[in-house]
């Protein structure tokens, strides 16, 4: 009867395990899994076990035979998983005491009870879709790498001798993780209690305060299991929306392998936004609790002698397996349902977007200081994600799962958004930061990715400019373009802090002079750069300076050069080709927009005002504020650290040239008011009444420059890093309203880098006309306190080729003064374009 009971119980257990996995759902993750398991169990366990008993008749050895076959089955079902091997090792270790206890004993049921829980827990967890997904994650790889590249299941004496601490930690972490993954905390405790009970039963009393010792132990295990389940519930319900930072982020990182993995949840469902799922999740708690209580009741009845032995054993084993199967089936179904719910929620969130994994943005709450970056991306795996920890364009995605109020798990994706492997330096950076980290530090990394630094970052080590002088009547009115170029390059060479021979290329932005390439090269040589330093000019109208910066930065990032200078220079007084030669009508006749490219900029300004309903009062009010801010900044000395004095010659009223040193911007008009600007007549009455000489940018002469190189080079040369170049982009729009170019360029750039306007601290928008500035501010809902805090081109002037780099110089100076981080620059571009640049202050 005992043999029959044992065989029947074993078969019921194995069948219940298989039935606990819904075939039609589970086959999504393991095709043919259900049938495969049944075949393996039948061929390797049930039939051989029956034959073995028939031939030998020794139940104790039969149990050992069955255990060995079960382990072989497990490895055959999951041969690809190193985690399965680790868990199998743990299973064997856990079974040894029970097997030894069974040998020489006729109590087959004791052995079956001992092996039931670990076998069941392992099979359920190893077959879980959550574990299937985790088999490819970074944790298994990190454990493998942690033990020096070997298979964790092959840890031997030599490895223990060479690195016992590392090996022991690897084994413990793997075992702890698997215990949690399988949800087997209570199972392990139950096994320990069953073994311990037999060990102490000889010496300990049968009852304590009238309560059977077995019942008391089982009750304590039930409580421990409920606590473990509650901990997992709490872990899964950490809500970052309400998380508040109370302490400063730690500037240290903790290796993943030295944090007990018991705190890492394995289930992938997130029920924070689904109340019905939450209801079922908490219902599962009661299912497991009732099952455990039923097990305790069965045990109590048996120990009290109220049930006959054989019938009681049959009921206990079959009943406990059935309840466990029901609970495990509920876990699996809930897990699958949670995954489907998360996937459906993601699809609902992203149905209006082109990319299937577009993330919703979650605003974090912070105390103590205003946040630099308040948005993190939430993907459909419910992990907090931001897309730049390495600054190796294009940005490398990184994922972070918030585990508890204290720790988080940071991992990296091995593929870039557009495909392709992550570069070596970027991968090394992410691997250095991956693993268990204090949550404060992780959130700081995610919200303030700018502080993360890579040797491959393109950085700015110097940013300077000349004073901006009034065209035709200011300090540079008698100065040639090549001398202005020479002046800014000479000042750059004197201040950059290293030999000019290291500079490999200079790119000069210029618009109005067709001979700018000649002049840029000559000016560089005259300024003291060797003939081994290249030089060129670039012209994309008002964005020429920013384009020069992007060209040099991209050349550095690509490895073409190590150090370069991006500059912009313009003499609008002298000017150059004014497009006086007629354009080929054969080209223009094919497109109205092609003809619009030839129109005056004043015409485009009036088009913006007319098309978007801007009033003269609003325009003049904006212009007056630009003058007020520039005046305040100049009086406070805010421009002093960015301007390099230039000595030149100016022709006086008597016609004689006098040497002067220029150090102040000349376009600022103290005391300018909107009322005063309202009295100025329209500059382009033939097209409209809005644009005037008071609310448009000034004709100006000047130059500016920035020195760029890789961070590794800056460190090698012991140079201070002012800022990091993040990226830039250009976008097109109808030429007739070219002034609103920033409204298309800025969103494009921010989207590329997963930022919002709220993340930007200082925003420099070129004020070619107040019409375009007002429309851009209103359309993008820009914070006016962040936009042009020192005034813009209306007050300072707009030397066409210079503005792109001048905005960088001024914006970074403002970031340093106010201790801000992200600088966004943008400008409209003649013929219908807009450009934007993104920089990170590091001072």
Q: Cα-flanking dihedrals φ and ψ of residue 217, to 5°?
A: -60, -45
DSSP characters over 763-821: EEE--SBHHHHHHHHHHHT--TTTB-TT--HHHH---TTTHHHHHHHHHHHHHHHHT--
pLDDT value, residue 581: 56
Contact predicate 489/578, CB 8 Å = no
Q: What is the pLDDT of residue 575?
A: 77
* Residue 245 pLDDT class (50, 70, 90 cuts): very low
Q: Which of 630, 791, 624, 742 is nearest to 692 (CA)?
A: 624
Report the DSSP beta bridge partners of residue 732.
833
pLDDT of residue 607: 96
What is d(CA 537, CA 509) in angstroms, rounded to the nearest whole number?
Answer: 6
DSSP for 422-453, written as a single string: PPHHHHHHHHHH-EEEEHHHHHHHHHTGGG--
pLDDT value of residue 455: 81
**Dist CA 383 CA 403 (whole Å):** 10
The 3-class secondary structure across 105-140, one letter per residue, is CCCHHHHHHHHHHHHHHHHHHHCCHHHHHHCCCHHH
Catalytic option among 222, 380, 433, 798: 798
What's residue 456's pLDDT? Answer: 85
Instruction: Return the percentage of the chain with pLDDT > 90, whole number.
Output: 40
User: What secondary structure letter does DSSP report for 67?
Assistant: H
Q: Examine the pLDDT at 751 and tell me if it is beyond 80.
A: yes
Give the per-residue pLDDT at 577. 53
**Per-residue tokens: 507:** 């790119």
Average pLDDT for residues 575-594, to the nearest whole number? 76
Q: What is the DSSP letter of 841?
A: E
**Which of 441-455, 580-594, 709-723 tops mean pLDDT?**
709-723
Is the CB of residue 651 less than 8 Å from the CB of residue 478?
yes
Greatest mean pLDDT among 26-30, 202-206, 289-293, 772-776 lies in 772-776
Determine the Cα–Cα distance for residues 63 and 60; give it in Å rounded to an integer. Answer: 5
pLDDT, mean of residues 9-30: 36
Closest CA to 597 of 584, 612, 610, 611: 584
Element (H, E) at 706: strand 700-710
Higher pLDDT, 623 or 353: 623
Mean pLDDT, range 641-654, rounded to an integer: 94
Other C-beta atoms within 10 Å of 196: how many?
A: 13
Instruction: Tell me the pLDDT tens digit for each residue of 443-457.
Output: 444 444 444 577 888
The mean pLDDT of 528-545, rounded to a whole number, is: 97
Ranges of each domain in the chain: 2-238+256-345, 360-454, 459-576+592-841
Region 315-338: mean pLDDT is 45
**352 token code pair:** 């209006």
Q: Do 533 and 477 touch, CB atoms closer than 8 A? A: no
- CB of 269 within 8 A of CB of 312? no
- In 3-state terms, what secondary structure has residue 571? strand
The listed range with the strongest mean pLDDT (184-193, 386-395, 556-565) is 556-565
Confidence at residue 19, expressed as pLDDT on a 0 to 100 scale: 35
For residue 577, what is the DSSP state? -
Position 208 confidence tier, pLDDT thresholds 50, 70, 90: low
Q: Is 542 a catalytic residue?
A: yes
Query: pLDDT tens digits for 109-148?
Result: 444 444 444 444 443 333 333 333 333 333 334 333 433 3
Query: Are 125 and 178 contacting, i.e. CB atoms less than 8 angstroms apart?
Result: yes
Q: Which residues pair with 421 in a beta bridge?
A: 415
Closest CA to 735 of 597, 828, 835, 539: 597
Among residues 818, 682, 694, 700, the alpha carbon closest in space to that of 761 is found at: 818
> Token match 């809930």: residue?
334
Least confident of 193-202, 329-338, 755-764: 329-338
DSSP 536: E
Q: Which of 697, 637, 651, 640 is nearest to 475 (CA)?
A: 651
Q: Which residue has the higher pLDDT, 772 or 135?
A: 772
pLDDT-based confidence at 412, cuts 50/70/90? very low
pLDDT of 714 > 60? The answer is yes
Residue 798 among the catalytic residues: yes
DSSP secondary structure letters along 255-299? -GGGS-GGG--------TT-HHHHHHHHHHHHHHHHHHHHHHHHH
More confident residue, 35 or 431: 35
Task: Choose the catalytic residue: 542, 753, 760, 815.
Answer: 542
Task: Supply the pLDDT for residue 160.
Answer: 38
546 within 8 A of 808, measured Cβ to Cβ:
yes
**Helix orientation angle between 82-102 and 138-146, rounded to the nearest 10 degrees:** 70
Work out the pLDDT band at 297, boundaries 50, 70, 90.
Answer: low
CATH homologous superfamily for 459-576+592-841?
Answer: Thiolase/Chalcone synthase (3.40.47.10)
How far separated are the first and last CA of the chain, in Å rounded? 82
In the annotation, is 760 catalytic?
Answer: no
Task: Determine contact, residues 775/835, Cβ cutoff 8 Å.
Answer: no
| Tokens found for residue 407 | 């720790």
Q: Are 787 and 766 in contact (CB under 8 A)?
A: no
Mean local confidence (pLDDT), 552-570: 96
Mean pLDDT of the chain: 66
What are the tokens at 519? Answer: 């002049």
Select the more confidently predicted residue: 392 or 196.
196
Q: Could you read off the pLDDT of 677-708 as tens digits, one per residue?
A: 999 999 999 999 999 999 999 999 999 999 99
Phi, psi of 206 (to 5 degrees): -70, -25
Q: φ and ψ at 493, to 5 degrees?
A: -60, -40
pLDDT bucket at 73, cuts 50 / 70 / 90: low
Instruction: Judge whether residue 811 has pLDDT over 90.
Output: yes
In the structure, what pLDDT confidence band is assigned to residue 753 with cuts at 50, 70 and 90?
confident
Cis peptide before 394 (omega within 30 of 0): yes
Could you tell me the two tokens for 225?
Answer: 């299991």
Global model pTM greater than 0.85 = no
pLDDT band at 587 (very low <50, low <70, confident <90, very high): confident
């Amino acid at each position: 009867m005992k043999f029959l009971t044992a065989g029947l119980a074993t078969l019921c257990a194995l069948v219940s395990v298989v039935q606990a996995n819904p075939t039609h759902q589970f086959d999504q993750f393991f095709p043919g899994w259900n049938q495969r398991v049944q075949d393996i169990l039948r061929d390797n366990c049930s039939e051989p076990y029956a034959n073995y008993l028939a031939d030998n008749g020794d139940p104790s050895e039969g149990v050992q035979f069955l255990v060995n076959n079960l382990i072989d089955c497990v490895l055959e079902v999951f041969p690809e998983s190193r985690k399965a091997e680790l868990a199998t090792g743990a299973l064997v270790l856990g079974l040894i005491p029970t097997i030894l206890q069974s040998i020489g004993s006729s109590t087959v049921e004791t052995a079956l009870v001992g092996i039931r829980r670990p076998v069941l827990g392992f099979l359920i967890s190893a077959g879980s879709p959550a574990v299937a997904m985790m088999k490819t994650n970074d944790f298994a790889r990190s454990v493998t790498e942690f033990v020096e590249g070997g298979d964790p299941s092959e840890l031997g004496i030599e490895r223990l001798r060479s690195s016992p601490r590392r090996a022991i930690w690897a084994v413990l972490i793997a075992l702890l993780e698997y215990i949690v993954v399988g949800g087997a905390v209570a199972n392990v405790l139950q096994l320990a209690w069953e073994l311990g009970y037999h060990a102490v039963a000889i010496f300990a009393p049968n009852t304590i305060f009238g309560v059977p010792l077995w019942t008391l132990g089982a009750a304590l295990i039930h409580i421990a299991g409920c606590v473990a389940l509650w901990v997992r519930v709490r872990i899964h319900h950490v809500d970052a929306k309400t998380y508040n930072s109370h302490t400063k982020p730690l500037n240290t990182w903790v290796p993943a392998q030295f944090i007990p993995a018991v705190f890492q949840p394995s289930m992938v469902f997130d029920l924070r936004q689904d109340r019905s799922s939450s209801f079922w999740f908490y219902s599962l708690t009661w299912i497991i609790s009732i099952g455990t209580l039923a097990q305790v009741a069965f045990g109590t009845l048996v120990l009290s002698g109220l049930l006959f032995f054989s019938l009681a054993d049959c009921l206990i084993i079959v009943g406990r397996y059935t309840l466990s199967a029901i609970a495990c089936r509920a876990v699996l179904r809930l897990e699958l349902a949670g995954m489907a719910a998360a996937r459906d929620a993601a699809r609902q969130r992203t149905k209006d977007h082109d990319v299937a994994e577009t993330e919703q943005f979650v605003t974090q709450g912070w105390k103590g200081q205003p946040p630099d970056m308040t948005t993190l991306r939430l993907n459909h795996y419910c992990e907090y994600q931001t897309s730049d920890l390495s600054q190796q364009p294009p940005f490398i995605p990184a994922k972070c799962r918030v585990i508890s109020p204290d720790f988080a798990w940071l991992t990296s994706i091995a593929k870039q958004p557009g495909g392709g492997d992550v570069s070596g330096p970027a991968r090394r950076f992410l691997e250095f930061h991956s693993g268990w980290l204090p949550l404060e530090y992780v959130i700081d990394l995610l919200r303030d990715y700018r502080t993360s630094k890579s040797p491959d970052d393109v950085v700015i080590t110097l940013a300077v400019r000349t004073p901006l002088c009034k065209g035709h009547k200011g300090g540079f009115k008698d100065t040639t373009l090549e001398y202005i170029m020479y002046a800014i390059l000479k000042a750059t060479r004197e201040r950059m802090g290293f030999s000019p021979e290291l500079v490999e290329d200079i790119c000069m932005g210029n618009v109005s002079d067709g001979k700018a390439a000649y002049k840029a090269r000559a000016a560089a040589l005259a300024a003291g750069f060797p003939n081994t330093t290249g030089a060129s000019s670039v012209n994309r109208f008002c964005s020429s300076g920013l384009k020069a910066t992007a060209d040099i930065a991209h050349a550095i990032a690509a490895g073409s050069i190590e150090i370069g200078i991006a500059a912009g220079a313009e003499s609008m007084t002298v000017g150059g080709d004014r497009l006086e030669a007629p354009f080929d009508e054969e080209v223009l006749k094919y497109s109205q927009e092609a003809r619009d490219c030839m129109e005056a900029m004043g015409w485009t300004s009036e088009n913006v005002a007319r098309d978007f309903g801007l009033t003269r009062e609003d325009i003049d009010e904006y212009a007056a504020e630009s003058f007020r801010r520039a005046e305040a900044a100049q009086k406070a000395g805010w421009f002093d650290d960015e301007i390099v004095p230039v000595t030149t010659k100016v022709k006086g009223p008597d016609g004689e040239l006098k040497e002067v040193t220029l150090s102040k911007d000349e376009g600022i008009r103290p005391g300018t008011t909107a009322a005063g600007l309202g009295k100025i007549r329209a500059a382009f009455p033939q097209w409209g009444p809005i644009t005037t000489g008071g609310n448009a940018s000034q004709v100006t002469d000047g130059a500016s420059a920035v020195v760029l190189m890789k961070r590794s080079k800056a460190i090698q040369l012991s140079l201070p890093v002012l800022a990091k170049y993040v990226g830039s982009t250009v976008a097109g729009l109808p030429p007739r309203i070219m002034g609103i170019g920033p409204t298309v360029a800025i969103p494009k750039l921010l989207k590329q880098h997963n930022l919002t306007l709220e993340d930007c601290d200082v925003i420099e928008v070129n004020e070619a006309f107040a019409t375009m500035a007002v429309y851009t501010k209103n359309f993008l809902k820009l914070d006016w306190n962040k936009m042009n805090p020192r005034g813009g081109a209306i007050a300072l002037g707009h030397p066409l080729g210079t503005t792109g780099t001048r905005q960088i110089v001024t914006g970074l100076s403002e970031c340093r003064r106010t201790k801000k981080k992200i600088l966004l620059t943008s400008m409209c571009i003649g013929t219908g374009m807009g450009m934007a640049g993104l920089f990170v202050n590091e001072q």
